[in-house]
Amino acid sequence: MSKLPAFRPAQFCSSGVTLAIGLSMMLTMNCQAADESTVSESIVNASVSENISADDRAWFEQHVRPLLVKHCYECHSADAGELKGGLALHNRAGWMMGGDSGPAIVPGKSDESLLIQAVRYESYEMPPKGRLPDDEISILEEWVQRGAPDPRDGDSEPIVNQPIDFEKEREFWAFQSPASHHPPDVLDSAWPRDAIDFFVLSKLEKEDIQPAGDADPATWLRRVTFDLTGLPPDVAELDAFLGNGEEATSVNGTARQQVVERLLASEQFGVHWGRHWLDVARYADSNGGDFNATFYNAWRYRNYVINAFNDDKPFDQFVREQLAGDLLPFENEQQRGEQLVATSFLMLGVKMLSERNKDKLTMDVVDEQIDTTGKAFLGMTLGCARCHDHKFDPVPTADYYALAGIFRSTVTLEGESQQYVSTWVETPLPMSESEAQTIADHAEVVKQLKAKLDSAKKNAQSLEQKIANEKSSDGSITLDNDSAKIVGTWPASHVSPVRIGATYLRDDKLEKGKKFVIWTPEIPVAGPYEVRLSYPGKDGCDKHVPVTVKFSGGEQRLFVDQSKPGPINGLFCSLGVFEFSAGNSNTVTISTEDTTGFVLADAVQLIPQSDNASSSPDYDEQTKQKIASLQAQLEEQKTAIKKQEAEIKEAEKKGPKPPAAMAAREANKIEDCPILVRGELAHPGPKADRGFLQIASRGSARIEQQTQSGRRELADWITSKDNPLTARVIVNRIWQHMFGEGLVRSVDNFGHLGELPSHHELLDTLAVEFVENGWSTKWLVRRIALTRSYAMASSYQETSFNKDPDNRWLWRANRKRITAESLRDSLLKISGDLDLTPDDSLVAELGALAIDNSSQNSSGRRTDALKRSLYLPIVRNELPGFLTTFDFADPDIVTGRRPETNVPAQAMYLMNNSFVKEQATKVAEQLLKDVENADTHFNDAVCDAAFRRFLARTPNANERNAITEYVISRSGESPKVVWADVIQSIFASTEFRMLE
């Protein structure tokens, strides 16, 4: 191989080649994947991608077709009589050809599509009867942006429901009960190591295809370690396994059995396999939608899932708890809490929290729950039946609304929060003794802080009173509210720090006109006095407060604007000068008569007047100094009060809270749901009895317990041995994660639009045995991991490839990409930075607030945490950049199989991202520290150690020579910098990101 240019990964030379690109290409070429099969497979996949996917078909039928039928067919279909504008929208050819104005849709470009412009009322205004709601316009926009997938061929007519022949439909493979099959006979009886291998080899022999050889032990160890834990094996584990010699090559020998048992027992098994289920459960830590509110308790469900896989909770119980955990019996409070948390499954979908039509919101949430339940557990797309009988599968609209009645009788949304029209249900969880004690201890700490604050406030109030007394020492009279006569209810308040004495009074707006505050001063010497009224005026207070002054010459009624602070020192206003007689016959009275705002009463001050006196008190120097000293003490006390208030607020914010979960519960009113004609709330039809899918029922499809929602019976029906779908679906999901492809490749769709199983008898046999073995996930993972089929190499064989380019018959191992989480976690593990301890919520500090970019920056959410990527905050519309770059699951939908892209942004991220560079530098430092004389220009031991850490092998001659030349070419630079670039290039290589 030619000499690599001496450039850092982020630096490009004139030819556009970088070290990372050059070295990664070399590693890729050395990898078994870079053969002609890579090109051929991409050609095959390209031809398949031209067809409409099962997901797109289902989405069109569920969302788009009903809108076209409802709003467009009247004027733009074969039944319209006169085709308006020459435009037909009842089939694909119609909108492609367009009408008088040209093609109606430009696939992938909604802004350029006449149809979208028309429904937006930007050009034509369609439909003419009125603009579509924004959510329906959004559906059409999304359809066009998806490329306008449209399965309607020929002269498609508006949907007319036809009776479904369920007996005939049950002839379809997925609706037949699975049956166990004896392993078939094979010619090469020495090859299989498990009954699974007999089924695989039998297919290969029928197709005259030779299976690939066994993967070498290091490749198998790397594959199984990633598949079971999502992490690479470390060097010690590699050496220990290879140290078994020939035993390590035995496909299901003791050495490999020990490895599998060790990995199954690891806590990281649940982390990795839990993430697989979270993809299906559309897990997120926020709502998304119109208000991206934080699901601050969703982490409890995430950790429940992790623990379920680590504990090998039987899958049927796992299903029952997620659908009806609140209705299941429990042996102790811990089990009850787990089951409540499990029902978060129903709560995690996107919801339009600002929707004011509660009935519409309820049905939209129910629709999302039905769609999720159908795909997750049954492999069925049920949402299509909301508006009409399912176009492809035997699911009548009545069955959809039978399920809708169950979920509509379940509460997952309720009431109104301060931020949204609706909010989700939060249910208190039982506490352990230690949790209760922790909360009690924290409450005591907060109580002591508040007591300290109360003491500080009393000191401040005492100082305020002393200041008032000193200001009265010149002969003026100050009367606080505690010396007044109170008529009616006047709650005391100390919210405003600007006041006389400890508190001021504020009326509660009740019984206006019947409440008074009356001050009766004791006048020592008759004469003129200026009367001042004290109140902490602010917005919300009345602008026309009546105040009556009774003096020796009679009485006078005045009006005070308390909506703003008093003009004198921000507290007092002057009512005027009045002649008072000596004694207690004079009064100052505040009334609430004819007021609408709040009325405040703090104090009155009477200042003696003379012909030469100022209207303001004239204090002597000693009094001024004393007042100044008291005011300084008061300001110091106020500063301390603010600090203590902040401490209490922080303690209450970060302290332990009583545990709660997003948990479903039964509705107060249990009832069946009417069948909505075309899915419209305005057109209810007859009610559908609550129940299940008729096609998958062997007896009655209706619930028997009428006083409950039916969720528990639904859960029991889904997990029944007689249900033909559930066991098949989960077995297929497990197989897919181990082999890279499911036996049914459309893992979320077992209906007519899904793919047929490649090994039907094998799938059925495993489904039956899975149930017989207690619905154990670990049993099936262990079984698969020790088969010869799983242990095959991924090497290319031209003859086999020509016969089976998609590897449907499993003649070799599928090359699999490691997930985004595994990619990030692996780099952290190799650098030694990975923190394997579990975590709780990373968004709890936000409360229930909606998340936006500004709140992300200020919230302190630890998006750069060193925990496993599973614990990163999954905030809808703000997913972590590393994960989205490498095909993270869309948390808005059920994702049984993640999309796989190969785009320049991925390579650029690995070459230029600061996180990647930082971790590569740490690995380089460790290697140079561990290897003797590593600071010289080149050291074979450093190169070997790097390859063993990342790729579980040593470099070949070409790789060693290329790296040697590269390192020597940069001999004038720091070895750490040079080797960090080499490490980064290995990490960015195709081989590292793939499992052979």
pLDDT at 615 over 50: no
> What digits encode the pLDDT tens for the residues 209-234?
999 999 999 999 999 999 999 999 99
Which residues, at least 6 apart from 224, have a Cβ–Cβ distance to it below 8 Å?
Answer: 256, 259, 260, 263, 785, 790
Alpha carbon 476 to its chain's center: 66
Q: Which residue has the tokens 């149809």?
A: 115
> What digits encode the pLDDT tens for the residues 678-699?
788 888 889 999 999 999 988 8
Mean pLDDT across the stretch 959-963?
90
Task: For the chain, state the CA radius of gyration.
Answer: 38
Q: What amino acid is encoded at 732 in this protein?
A: N
Q: What amino acid is encoded at 25 in this protein?
A: M
CA distance 689 to 832: 58
Structure tokens at 549: 């002054």
pLDDT at 80 over 80: no
Which DSSP symbol is given to 175? G
Alpha carbon 990 to its chain's center: 30
pLDDT at 50 over 70: no
DSSP calls for 369-436: HHHHHIIIII----GGGGTSS-SSSS--HHHHHHHHHHHHTEESEES--SSSS-EE--EE----HHHH
> How crowded is the C-beta side of 618, counted as CA atoms within 13 Å?
7
The pLDDT of residue 63 is 81
Would you tell me how many other CB atoms lie within 10 Å of the CB of residue 82? 7
Coil/strand/helix, residue 519: strand
Mean pLDDT across the stretch 487-514?
87
CA distance 402 to 387: 14
DSSP calls for 922-957: HHHHHHHHHSTTTTSS--HHHHHHHHHHHHSS---H
The pLDDT of residue 375 is 95
Angstrom CA distances, 271 to 286, 303, 690, 783, 817, stand at 20, 9, 37, 20, 18
CA distance 910 to 9: 9
| Residue of 482, 481, 501, 494 lying closest to 453 (CA atoms) | 494
Q: Cβ(962)–Cβ(17) under 8 Å? A: no
CA distance 230 to 368: 30
* Range list of H helices, 146-194: 166-169
pLDDT at 639 over 70: yes
Q: Cβ(568)–Cβ(505) under 8 Å? A: no
CA distance 610 to 613: 5
Count of all residues that appear for the chain in the document: 996
Structure tokens at 717: 């029906």
The pLDDT of residue 199 is 97
Alpha carbon 409 to its chain's center: 25
- The pairing of strands 504-506 and 492-493 is antiparallel
| Residue of 806, 901, 214 lying closest to 223 (CA atoms) | 214
Q: Cβ(313)–Cβ(775) under 8 Å? A: no
> What digits encode the pLDDT tens for the residues 767-825?
999 999 999 999 999 999 999 999 999 999 999 999 999 999 999 999 999 999 999 99
Coil/strand/helix, residue 544: coil
pLDDT band at 135 (very low <50, low <70, confident <90, very high): confident
CA distance 342 to 302: 9
| Residue of 739, 767, 715 lying closest to 173 (CA atoms) | 767
CA distance 992 to 983: 11
Angstrom CA distances, 527 to 557, 558, 876, stand at 20, 21, 74
User: pLDDT exceeding 70 applies to what percent of the chain?
Assistant: 88
pLDDT band at 386 (very low <50, low <70, confident <90, very high): confident
pLDDT at 355 over 80: no
* Range list of H helices, 155-253: 166-169, 195-206, 217-229, 235-242
pLDDT at 159 over 60: no
The pLDDT of residue 331 is 93
Q: What is the dihedral of CA 219, 222, 228, 230, to 10 degrees?
A: -140
The pLDDT of residue 454 is 87
pLDDT band at 323 (very low <50, low <70, confident <90, very high): very high
- Tell whether omega for the bond before 127 is within 30 degrees of 0, i.e. cis: yes
CA distance 784 to 196: 8
Which residues, at least 6 apart from 390, have a Cβ–Cβ distance to it below 8 Å?
Answer: 61, 381, 382, 384, 396
> What digits encode the pLDDT tens for the residues 467-493?
766 665 557 888 999 889 999 999 998
Would you tell me how many other CB atoms lie within 10 Å of the CB of residue 749? 27
> What digits encode the pLDDT tens for the residues 270-322?
999 999 999 999 999 888 877 788 888 899 999 999 999 999 999 999 999 99
Q: Which residue has the tokens 């017989």?
A: 772
Q: Cβ(269)–Cβ(228) under 8 Å? A: yes
Which residues, at least 6 apart from 211, have a Cβ–Cβ distance to it below 8 Å?
Answer: 191, 200, 201, 204, 789, 792, 810, 811, 812
pLDDT band at 760 (very low <50, low <70, confident <90, very high): very high
> How crowded is the C-beta side of 823, counted as CA atoms within 13 Å?
28
The pLDDT of residue 856 is 40
Would you tell me how many other CB atoms lie within 10 Å of the CB of residue 42? 10
State residue 541 phi and psi, 5-degree precision.
-85, 160
- The pairing of strands 684-688 and 816-817 is unpaired
User: pLDDT exceeding 90 applies to what percent of the chain?
Assistant: 49
pLDDT at 506 over 60: yes
CA distance 839 to 837: 7
CA distance 423 to 485: 47
Mean pLDDT across the stretch 387-409?
90
- The pairing of strands 660-661 and 554-560 is unpaired
State residue 555 phi and psi, 5-degree precision.
-150, 155
Which of the two residues, 731 and 18, has the higher pLDDT score?
A: 731
Which DSSP symbol is given to 208? T
The pLDDT of residue 55 is 72
Would you tell me how many other CB atoms lie within 10 Å of the CB of residue 94? 22
Structure tokens at 837: 């301890």
